[in-house]
Amino acid sequence: MNKTRVPLLIIGAGPVGLLTALKASSENIPTLIVEGREYAGGQLTELYPEKDITDIPGIELIKAKDYIALLLKQIASKKDAISFLFGHKVTAINYKNSPIEIKLDDETNILADDVVIATGLGVYRPRPMGILDEDKYQAIRYSLKDYQFLTDKRVIVLGGGDSAIDWADMCSKVTNKVALIHRRNEFRGNILTLKNNHIVKILTPYVPYRLIGEGGKLTALEIQNVETKEIEQLPVDYIMVNYGNIPLSDNFGLPKLGIGIECSNGFKIANHLYAAGDIAGYEGKIRRLAPALKEIETIIKEIKSSL
């Protein structure tokens, strides 16, 4: 595979990488997608496959995993134009020369006329609770790939963002014992999501304080009120930690803007090098799928016009 040359190389097979490849194929631009994991889907597969997505234009409601399956089905029908290289992380991008040279973690190189970086959150590690013995209990989870195992269990969700709120909402579909705990009284995410949810008990401002269990079996979580310092004990079967991820994506040595790679309004980083999706950094960037569609459209139009 040394020095393969492709017209368009996309780094990352998350939803944005897949959508970019589909758009490129509609313009007859053959594409290779390089993905660090062994499968596609990015955050949708990894973090919230069971979540209902309701804000994709043209689709009323779809589970995250079904949306990825839909994109992959569409891609399968264009297999002459779109190919994948799974299980290979891109480690360096040499964009000073044309074609651009991409280096993989097995030291092989690929040459590409154009490159779209769609690495999203990158290959991340979930942020832990940071309390003693956290690593001793299987019942502490950092992603919610499936939630049937939580049926009738006592569940505590920790976090204050949209994903923690979504998780609490999802858990309440299979159990009526769900608590959502956040260290501030105000949530970063849209707490109105839970407005009509009479199952999730919201507890603020609390932080996890101490785990209680024996022989690897978790039985309770002590939480501390941030203001009064009082400690309370909550019986629990599973703790779902949603404190975000560390570290954020690799920027390949390119200039950063916030958590993304700095790019122009045309989502261009340099000649023939672009960023789309969560990794794109520009003024007013919104990290959702719908805004990425405009990025993809602009990028493919620019690539097409430069051919």
Ligand X SMILES: Cc1cc2nc3c(=O)[nH]c(=O)nc-3n(C[C@H](O)[C@H](O)[C@H](O)COP(=O)(O)OP(=O)(O)OC[C@H]3O[C@@H](n4cnc5c(N)ncnc54)[C@H](O)[C@@H]3O)c2cc1C
Q: What's CA 18's distance to the chain center, in Å?
A: 14
The one segment of 12-20, 93-101, 125-133, 181-189 that binds ligand X by CB under 6 A: 12-20
Site string for ligand X, 77-106 (x = CB under 6 A): ------------xx----------------
Q: Output the smallest distance, CB 57 to ligand X, in A.
A: 10
| Length in residues, the chain | 307
Q: CB 124 → ligand X: shortest distance, Å? A: 8
Distance, CA of 67 to CA of 166 (rounded, Å): 17
Exactly one of 8, 9, 10, 16 binds ligand X (CB under 6 A); that residue is: 16
Distance CA 73, CA 259 (A): 31
Q: Select the span of 8-16, 126-134, 210-218, 263-271 touching ligand X (CB under 6 A).
A: 8-16
Which two three-digit tokens encode residue 107? Answer: 């030291």
Taking the chain, what is the end-to-end CA distance rounded to the nearest angstrom? 25
Q: How far is the CB of 83 from ligand X (least distance, A)?
A: 15
Contact with ligand X (CB under 6 A) among 25, 31, 119, 251: 119
**Region of 1-9, 134-142, 262-270, 285-293 interacting with ligand X (CB under 6 A):** 285-293
- Which of 6, 9, 32, 36 touches ligand X by CB under 6 A? 36
117 versus 181: smaller Cβ distance to ligand X: 117
Alpha helices, DSSP H only, in the chain? 15-26, 42-46, 64-76, 162-171, 289-305
Is there a contact between 54 and 60 (Cβ–Cβ < 8 Å)?
Answer: yes
Q: Which H or E run contains 53? A: strand 52-53
| Least distance from ligand X to the Cβ atom of residue 245, Å | 8
Q: Contacts with ligand X: how many residues (CB under 6 A)?
A: 37
Please check whether residue 218 is in contact with residue 97, taking contact to mean a CB–CB distance below 8 angstroms.
no
Edge-to-edge order in the sheet of strand 280-281: 256-257, 260-262, 280-281
Residues lying near ligand X in the complex (CB under 6 A) are found at 11-17, 34-37, 42-44, 47-48, 51, 53, 55, 89-90, 118-123, 163, 166, 249-250, 277-278, 287-290
